[in-house]
Structure 1
């Protein structure tokens, strides 16, 4: 990558990093998050069938497109009172919810999810305030949580005592409370049997995510007693899906969706003007063959590549 960056500078190419294209509010303009959510939720449902032996879905990558994947998902019949907890309200979380909605799984309030039984499968879609609380007992405030997450603790164990499947689509920032720990997973109240960790933060807020998995081999197990990896079908283990390149399983649709976002939200900035400086903030190299100011720290990196 260092050599490539040096070549970009030598050829005076303007390099814009799409991951850094953000509105003034900080919200990213384009990305593959929706597709990660779609495939991740489907893969979590698939893992439930494989672990229980009750149904067998194809991998998303073996489906021709999103429509075929959703058709397979819609054919799944989950048991009564099967409970799914979903975190995240960004692109990933919304994408995951699309799958659950397409399957006609009913959404219920978090309080009802915890205290009621249902004659059908249900899911609850949690916001940050639903599974974090102030240590001092005060009211939850989102800005305070962002500013000083160490003043908060997780209450997510309430949901792991009720849910069968956890779909992790949240963004986790360094210093924020872990959703659950390895000790939490040894609790006799623990119920979750499958974790679809779309966020895939290794050895972090989702304690059973020991490593990324792959499209070829998407599942592994975590044994709470030994804290080691096991077969995903182990009766005492939790099946983990932690593929970290999920959009690649629907390459046609993901590429088309990304291209549409690019045309709708980025090309107009190039053609009509960029009054908010969105492109400049995401520009790493300039037409003058220089690093843009926010990325000047890469100069030593480039110099080392040129000396090599």
Structure 2
């Protein structure tokens, strides 16, 4: 049971791709309940401390159009400056652990800026009850971040260092904007391992190998003598997965050139 004085534990997953789905696969082994991002405040106030809660935040859940109107994915891709995020006000203050798996581009709104992280709502706790339970007083509800995306100064602006498998955690002090390998103090516990799949090398190899094997015979037929999409005997699954062909990025992955030029 989670200490009632700290309220229910809420895991917030960002993104809907393989990264987020994989993290949720581990989470689902716990006694859990999924809730809408709009219900987080109610969960904090009335939730059950005998289980953990999860919410999945997609772009439409936290991005809003500055000029009014509904979120439009196609417009956001072309004109991200027309949007801002409510993540810091409506989601982060009620999150216990943030599992970040979103792709972030430099011209898009952040989930949390440095300034926003320093003004997260404090946890209102009865310190006398905490002392009896052996629970330390905590500065904010957001206690930990697993930044699987590992974008330095990206969607989480304060994420300034990549951690390693040998030393997976650092502590971020929201008030001094500093990071320390001493994780005994107050702050946000950060994990940002950029080669996280290496934690499970056998499992990762088996999984990717089994998914790739059925397409090997098709891949061997790509000899470079024709344009990629001119091969009629190659499936769309293979064509869409090819990142570089004949020394150039394929059309679906041209955005990588734009990312490289911005950095």
Give the Cα–Cα distance (whole angstroms) in 2 for the partners of residues 187 and 292 of structure 1.
Answer: 46
Asked if structure 1 preserves the Cα contact closer than 8 Å seen for 2:64 and 2:71, the reply is yes
Cα separation, partners in 2 of 1:239 and 1:261, compared to 1, 3 Å: same
Counterparts in 2 of 1:292 and 1:151: CA distance versus 1, 3 Å: closer
**C-alpha contact 1:208 1:240 (8 A) present in aligned 2:** no
Aligned mates of 1:162, 1:111 — CA distance in 2: 11
- After superposition, where does 1:187-206 map in structure 2 within 5 Å? 187-189=119-121, 190-206=140-156
Question: Aligned pair in 2 of structure 1 residues 169, 283: CA closer, same or farther (>3 Å)?
Answer: closer
Q: Secondary structure at the match of 1:178?
A: coil
Residue 274 of structure 1 is matched in structure 2 by 234
2:207 is aligned to: 257
The CA distance in 1 between the partners of 2:240 and 2:72, in whole Å, is 32
Report the TM-score, using the length of structure 1 for normalisation: 0.63
Q: Across the two proteins, how many residue pairs are aligned to each other? A: 214
Residue 208 of structure 1 is matched in structure 2 by 158
Q: Which runs of 5+ in 1 are unaligned?
A: 1-76, 286-290, 296-308
Measured in 2, the distance between the counterparts of 1:264 and 1:251 equals 21
Determine the structure 1 residue equivalent to 2:18. Answer: 91
- What is aligned with 1:51? none
Q: Is the 8 A contact 2:148 2:192 kept in 1?
A: yes
Q: Which among 36, 52, 64 is matched to residue 109 of structure 1?
A: 36
Q: Which of 182, 188, 199 does residue 114 from structure 2 map onto? A: 182
| Aligned-pair CA distance for 1:174 | 2.9
Higher relative contact order (CA 8 A, sep 6+): 1
Q: Tell me, yes or no, if structure 1 residue 131 matches structure 2 residue 58.
A: no
Match of 1:238 among 174, 188, 196: 188
Secondary structure, in 3 states, of the residue corresponding to 2:207? Answer: helix
Give the secondary structure class of the aligned counterpart of 1:226: coil
CA distance in 2, matches of 1:216, 1:145: 39
- In the TM superposition, what is the alpha-carbon distance from 1:235 to its structure 2 partner? 3.5
d(CA) in 1 for partners of 2:104 and 2:174? 22
Query: Aligned-pair RMSD on alpha carbons?
Result: 2.5
Residue in 2 that maps onto 1:44: none
TM-superposition CA deviations, 1:147-206 (whole Å, max 9, x none): 111111111112111011100011212311011111111115152110100001001211
Alignment of 1:1-308 (within 5 A): 78=2, 81-116=8-43, 117-119=46-48, 120-157=51-88, 158-189=90-121, 190-231=140-181, 233-270=183-220, 273-274=233-234, 276=236, 278=239, 282-285=243-246, 291=247
Secondary structure of the structure 2 residue equivalent to 1:102: coil
Structure 2 match to 1:18: none
Cα displacement (A) at 1:79:
5.2
* Divergent runs of 4+, >4 A: 77-80, 292-295
TM-score normalised by structure 2 residue count: 0.73
Task: Give SS of 1:161's match.
Answer: helix
**Displacement after TM superposition at 1:137 (Å):** 2.1
